[in-house]
Amino acid sequence: MTSHFWDIETLADDIERLAPGRTLPRPVVNLGSGFRSVVIRDAGGTVYRLGRTASMAKGYRYEVALLAMIRSYLPNEIPDPFLLSEPTERFPGGVLAYTSLNGRPIRRADADADDWEQLATDLGHFLAALHRIPGSVIAGLEKRPSPTGRPELEAMWADTSGALRERLEPEEMSRLERWWSDHIVAPGMDDYTAVLTHHDFWHENLLAEGEPLRLSGVLDWEHARLGDPAVDLVPLGYLGNRFAEEVMHAYKDRGGTIDEGFRARLAKHRVLREFGGIRYSVRNNDRAELIESIEKLRRTGVTDGRF
């Protein structure tokens, strides 16, 4: 990571040099920084996602192709990129740009508003539509492995267990190892019918507007793949159990399949999501993120025997 990623004016100047003839109306604002991208928006309403790591370039290319294939199947807006750059020295992961969508990111407080049910219903209906998209629609895209396949789970453990062993108490690590053996390595994690998943249905990637709040758009599709439908319900748990249950009710009402093992897999995926943060932190030598991700893992109950 180089310092220019934190200087908004420098970023804007660099994008203009990258795309001759393009001017970014000022002021340019920082919309946020995730694990892999920095996101800014100019005064004209164009959003720029700037890859922080070289691996993002491939993800951006995948995302642009995917969005074109699935747009007509979905009830709400998704980005329509018009600029995709290859990696450069300044932008090692490339640049993806699109006209900003209506609405603002969903906040945790929205799940406690008086009219929260409508928003939850919209989210359930969106996921049902997404999961109904035939796999054949994206047959031309790269085949992405399911994170719950045995080779991927073994790789996840190999990438994270060393750092966890260094930072957890011995009793915590012993419980975690038993939990992994009993719940993740054991049969059942791959017992589902694969559907197209967003794979990061986090509330900050979901836009809403109006009164009552209605879902208006869904962002950040670079992780989408065929996989376990339960994965897309996991992040909604951060909005509270009541809200997540209403989403699941609306999802099922619109034809979403909640099979016999769905809730058990959902609980396990909640823990695996925190393993994903630990893995990223280790790979990118991000000590602060590693500490925070391990604390999130502790809160799931797998290190103190509650799960």
Cβ–Cβ under 8 Å, residues 145 and 151 = yes
- The answer to whether residue 35 scores a pLDDT higher than 70 is no
Read off the amino acid at residue 293. S
Task: Tell me what percent of the residues of the chain surpass a pLDDT of 70.
Answer: 97
pLDDT in tens, 92-150: 999 999 999 999 999 999 999 999 999 999 999 999 999 999 999 999 999 998 888 88
Find the DSSP H helices in 31-149. 56-70, 116-132
Give the pLDDT band (50/70/90) at residue 71: very high
Average pLDDT along the chain = 93
Q: What is the pLDDT of residue 87?
A: 94
pTM of the predicted model, to two decimals?
Answer: 0.91
Under the banding of pLDDT at 50, 70 and 90, the label for residue 5 is low
Backbone angles phi, psi at 193, to 5 degrees: -95, 120
Which residues pair with residue 96 across a beta bridge? 49, 84
What is the model's pLDDT at position 147? 81
Domain annotation for the chain: domains and CATH numbers: 3-99 (3.30.200.20), 104-146+176-299 (3.90.1200.10)
Could you report the per-residue pLDDT of 159-183, keeping only the tens digit for each? 999 999 999 999 999 999 999 999 9
Q: Is pLDDT above 70 for 232?
A: yes
Residue 207: its pLDDT value, please?
98
Q: Given a cut of 50, is residue 262 above it in pLDDT?
A: yes
The pLDDT of residue 185 is 83
The answer to whether residue 243 scores a pLDDT higher than 50 is yes
Q: What is the mean pLDDT of residues 200-212?
A: 96
* 194 CB-contact burial (10 Å; exposed 0-12 / middle 13-18 / buried 19+): middle
